[in-house]
Copies of this chain bind each other. A is one copy, B any other.
Amino acid sequence: MNKLEKREYHSCSNGIFFEMKRTLVKKRSCFQEIEVIENPHFGRMLFLDGLVQTTEKDEFFYHEMLIHPAMVTHPDPRKILIIGGGDGGAIKQALRYPSEVVRMVEIDPDVIAVAKKYLPWLLPSLEDERADIVIADGREFLEDSHDKYDVVFMDSSEPVGPSVTLHERNFYKLIKERLAPQGIACAQMGAPFFQTESLKRAKNDLKDVFGIVRFYLAPVPTYPGGNWCYVYLSDQVDPFATKREPPSDLKYYNPEIHKAAFALPNYLQKILK
């Protein structure tokens, strides 16, 4: 084994490995370790604190499934907010609809700088004129600014490191206060197969805050556990009542996938319903 490789643990005793053809950047920002490597199969891969965030080959699975379910069901999504998402994958999908503004609040400017330099397929979105990039802590930003949004996406990393306050009940309440009437929030909720207990806690917190809490699933090849979990949150909007067609050139999401994603296997129904 002379090849250099990058490993990510999914539990204390299993995980994934990726051969590193080369390391394009590895640095410590004020918030986390940022690394971009090149792997022969997945292309360029962004790691934050050692965890795969996005890869050239499979980023579409995650970002399409985070963004499109809310964007096709909101009656008129004009003002969009993304908390986190510094790599630019979420904002790229959100900008595919004719909104007024897509604001992205990312805590770590170095993630954006690295994405602009090393993940060039995301660059046009980060430089789109409707993209309003704010460098701030998502929670502090929402406490200080009283703007309302039609759709809020929580594209945070795991509840360790800089994202820890984005996974708490009070933060969910703050999100709800910043939603316009008929607002929708969507968040990534981790790997249900490995993080069952934290998912259960989050469900209880979310149900205290939102009238409609629907978890949905879709796989991401480089994420742990087969399916990844997302949640659709609203007080008024039915997640199945789609108002428009998605963009025609998507690689993952379509109307059948939308409906299918909300079907939960028995072991998760027990936890999440």
A205 within 8 A of B: no
Tell me the minimal C-beta distance from A65 to chain B in angstroms: 9
A177 within 8 A of B: no
| Contact across chains for A13 and B18 when beta carbons are under 8 A apart | yes
Q: In the assembly, what is the distance between CA of A39 and CA of B219, in Å?
A: 24
Best-surrounded residue of A193, A260, A262, A265 (most CB of chain B within 10 A): A265
User: Size class of A's contact patch?
Assistant: 35 or more
Given contacts A256-B263, A256-B264, A266-B252, contact A17 B7 (CB under 8 A): yes
Q: In the assembly, what is the distance between CA of A219 and CA of B7, in Å?
A: 22
A12 within 8 A of B: yes
A251 within 8 A of B: yes
A124 within 8 A of B: no
| Contact across chains for A16 and B13 when beta carbons are under 8 A apart | no
Taking CB as reference atom, which chain B residue is nearest A16?
Answer: B16
Copies in the complex: 2
List which A1-58 residues lie within 8 A (CB) of chain B: 7, 10-19, 21, 39-42, 58
Partner of A12, one of B10, B40, B221: B40
Q: In the assembly, what is the distance between CA of A89 and CA of B250, in Å?
A: 37
Q: In the assembly, what is the distance between CA of A261 and CA of B42, in Å?
A: 25
A201 within 8 A of B: no
A113 within 8 A of B: no
Given contacts A220-B226, A226-B221, A259-B263, contact A14 B19 (CB under 8 A): yes
Given contacts A41-B13, A58-B193, A61-B226, contact A263 B252 (CB under 8 A): no
Taking CB as reference atom, which chain B residue is nearest A219?
Answer: B226
A230 within 8 A of B: no
In the bound complex, residues from chain B placing their C-beta under 8 Å from that of A226 are: 61, 219-221, 223, 226-227
In the bound complex, residues from chain B placing their C-beta under 8 Å from that of A163 are: none
Given contacts A14-B19, A219-B219, could you give 11 more A-B pairs where the C-beta distance is less than 8 Å?
A: A10-B41, A12-B41, A14-B18, A16-B17, A58-B193, A220-B226, A226-B226, A250-B266, A252-B267, A259-B263, A260-B261
Q: Can you list 9 contacts pairing A with B, beta carbon distance less than 8 Å? A: A12-B19, A14-B16, A14-B17, A16-B16, A58-B193, A221-B225, A226-B226, A253-B266, A259-B260
